[in-house]
Amino acid sequence: MKSHGALSLDPFHDMPGRQETDFVCITDSKVLVYLIHGITGAPVEMSSLSRKLSCENGWDVNVTTLPGHGTNLSGLGRTTEQDWRAHVQRQLSFIRDRYEYVFAVGLGAGALLALEASTVVRVDGIGALSPTFIHNGWNTPWAQVPERKPYHARGTVRGRPHDWCARGKVANGAATPPSSATTIAYPAISLGTLTEIDRLIMRVLPGLHDVTTPTVILQARTDDMTNPRNSSIVYNAISSQDRLLIVLDDCFHVVSVGDQQEAVAAHMAPFFRLHMKTEFIPQQMMVNF
């Protein structure tokens, strides 16, 4: 297996929107898992999970870098929800032509991008990690802002790095990657970007009933950024015959790097494998762990 942290001659070399900050593992598999980090996040949020999915199952993985990320706050402020959606859809279309099975996994707003993209590009399964429609967690940095002016793009909301869902931390004692815009999340967010997140939410929420792809939702019970009810919104609104909601203890919003990252991979992989078969029994289930 080859692990690529930069551009190289691999199946994704000509993929539209490819960035040097993307994380790719190649195993010459017929299965590809496409992972989408959260808004203001970075591919490192998903790199550990992607390695587990690849190494333990022999699947190819691609962790994308969303437009405006891996640069600086100004770069993020110049992007819109249309840019994020178009990026994901173009890349999934590219991947769909090259793999027999394609699965999309998203974190936070990345989960919304995966859900919406599934109505445009056929994918075989979705992993929605801490899907975010309402930022009402107990540690949300902007929860204490008395008045939010969503169309004032120059304002920013800041939080201490550990307030941002432990983004950039590496679990299991691994070395922390270099502190740079290419590897860690932004410690602040402009109100203009918050406005674009709002627009993404308002676009995706009414269309959840159009989602028919098998979906596994993984949610932290003590999510510090979004109330766990956000995952119930997805579970109850999508039209997927096969959907599964798993609530995890001992972790926070970024479940892909927390203490339960092993459990996330352990629940996701069997669900995806199930949908590589031509026949399966639809399941609708809510599970607590």
Tokens for 36, please give them. Answer: 């989408």
Q: What is the mean pLDDT of each run of 10 residues along the chain (289 residues)?
A: 49 90 91 93 86 92 91 76 97 97 94 98 94 66 41 36 32 36 57 88 96 92 75 94 84 67 81 77 51
Q: Are 262 and 251 in contact (CB under 8 A)?
A: no
Residue type, 52: K
**2-288, which class in CATH?**
alpha beta
How is 67-102 classified by DSSP, letter by letter?
TT-SS-HHHHHT--HHHHHHHHHHHHHHHHTT-SEE
Q: What is the Cβ-side half-sphere exposure of residue 11, based on CA atoms within 13 angstroms?
A: 22
What's the pLDDT score for residue 133?
87
Nearest to 254 by CA among 239, 264, 267: 264
Would you give the DSSP letter of residue 242? Answer: S
Confidence (pLDDT) at 127:
94
Q: Where are the domains of the chain?
A: 2-288
Phi, psi of 160 (to 5 degrees): -60, 150
Rounded to whole angstroms, how far apart are CA atoms 142 and 193? 13
Q: For residue 246, what pLDDT is reported?
A: 85
Residues 6+ apart with CB under 8 A from 56: 265, 269
Residue 64 burial by CB count (10 A; 0-12/13-18/19+): exposed, middle or buried? buried
- Smallest CA-to-CA distance from 22 within 51, 38, 42, 52 is with 42
pTM: 0.78
pLDDT at 249: 62
The whole-number pLDDT of residue 178 equals 38
Q: In this structure, are residues 268 and 240 in contact, taking their beta carbons and an 8 Å threshold?
A: no
Which secondary-structure segment (H or E) carries 24? strand 23-26
Give the integer Cα–Cα distance in Å for 242 and 236. 12
Give pLDDT, residue 161: 29
